[in-house]
Every structure is written in structure tokens, then in C-alpha cells.
Amino acid sequence: MLHQYHTMVADHQRDVEFKKGRWKNKMARYKDEQCRICRREGQKLFLKGSRCYTDKCSISRRNYAPGQNGQKKKKLSEYGTQLREKQKTKSFYGVGEKQFRKYFDMASNTKGKTGEVLLQILESRLDNVVYRLGYGSSRAQARMLVTHGTFEVNGKKVDIASYLVKPGDVISVKESKKDNSTIKVNVEESAKRPIPAWLEKDSEKLSGKVIRLASREDVDIPIEEHLIVELYSK
């Protein structure tokens, strides 16, 4: 019986080590894929947090598309250019096709320029706001923190990354999560990062407030939203 128990433990340990190795490989591939996305777009999309602000960023070292023919520039068709702009925007905010289309439909039915309203909706996502406030090193990490129940909106726990904030909303770290080492590191590393004018941050209370909805000028990457509108309008 004792021998059988030790065998079971050993098998379990091997299984755990195998899964750890597989997880590490999976994460390495995921991180590499993030860099490939930025290289394909030819610009930083800030998908890997603080690394994107250093010389280790792949764009700084290899500013050309991945692959054997990456250094050869291809001329895209009108449709290809529009599609690439949509894909870039989806990657930037970490949104899938179905939800992106939903946001576009919302923007189409809202007063104002459809493209600008679309960006406003994307900026209003809770995971994006958490990232903008500096409590997440990247939107992907911010999304994970939100889904793990780290934040509250107006004193109530919200664990839905796609939750859309509105003016007057207060986003704060839950009291039980304020000693979270990840949050502390992010606050320290983002201290020099500017906070958008539409948000207000209180680093001591680990909170932030939505002053107004984001304007077109608040979007800090070159997105040609009119190309997305043209693509969906066909």
C-alpha cells in the first residue's frame, strides 16, 4: 500500500511538472505572439505592459513584420487596409470580433460620428479604464485583475471586463485586495505615465474617477477609425 501511495504521488508530481512546463511554453508562445502582432502592425500596441516602454520591446529591435518575407513591404488593397485597421484596433483593446461588431452597432445608433463614438465605447471598458489608471500593466493584465474581482465600481464589485463606465463612476481596488503585490508594482511603475484628462486618479486610495467620456484626442495610438466605418458599411 505504501509503495502504491508513493507511486501515485510520483505520478501526480510528474503530471504537475508536465503541466507547468506546458503552461510555461504556452505563455512563452502567447507573449511571442503579442510581439508579432505589434511587428505586423508596425507600431507599439502596448500589449505587454512595462516591457513596451523599454528597449526590450520587439518594435525597437525589429521594426518589420514577422516571417521570412517580413522585411518586404506589401501593398494592401483598399479592403486589406480597412481590414488591417479593424484588426489593429481589436488587438489594441483585446476585443473579439463578435463584441467589436456589437460596439460598432451601438456606435452607429448613437448621435455623433460613428468612428469616434466607437473609440469612446472601447475606452469606456472597465479593463481599459483600469489600465489607463495604471492599476494594470497592460490591458490583458487589467482584464485578468477585473475578472478576479479586484475592483469595485461605486462601491460594488464588478468582475466583467467589458463593463462600460460612465461619467461620475468611481473605480477602486477592493479593500481586501489593496495589499496585492501586482497592484503595488503597477502603481509604482506607472507613476510617470500620464493619466488621461477624462480620468482622475487617487494613488493613495487606489481609486479613480471618470470625469467625462473620452474624446477623440484622448486615444493615443494612430487609429484611422473612418476605415473601420467604411469596412462595416459595405
* pLDDT tens digit sequence for 58-87: 555 665 555 555 556 678 899 999 999 999
pTM (two decimals): 0.73
Q: How do 207-210 and 170-173 pair as beta strands?
A: antiparallel
Q: Among the listed ranges 8-12, 74-78, 131-135, 154-158, which one has the minimum average pLDDT value?
A: 8-12
What are 92-150's pLDDT values in tens digits?
A: 999 999 999 999 999 999 999 999 999 999 999 999 999 999 999 999 999 999 999 99
Q: Where exactly are the structural domains of the chain? A: 2-61, 86-218
Chain position carrying cell 489593496: 178
CA atoms within 13 A on the CB side of 157: 11
* pLDDT, position 225: 97
Q: Would the pLDDT of 10 be above 80?
A: no
Q: Which ranges in 109-213 belong to alpha helices (H)?
A: 114-123, 126-132, 139-147, 181-189
Chain position carrying cell 518589420: 64
How is the chain split among helix, strand and coil, in percent rounded to 5? 55, 10, 40
Looking at per-residue pLDDT, the higher value among 94 and 27 belongs to 94
Q: Among the listed ranges 39-43, 91-95, 144-148, 151-155, which one has the minimum average pLDDT value?
A: 39-43
Q: How do 151-153 and 199-202 pair as beta strands?
A: unpaired
Q: For 86-218, CATH number?
A: 3.10.290.10
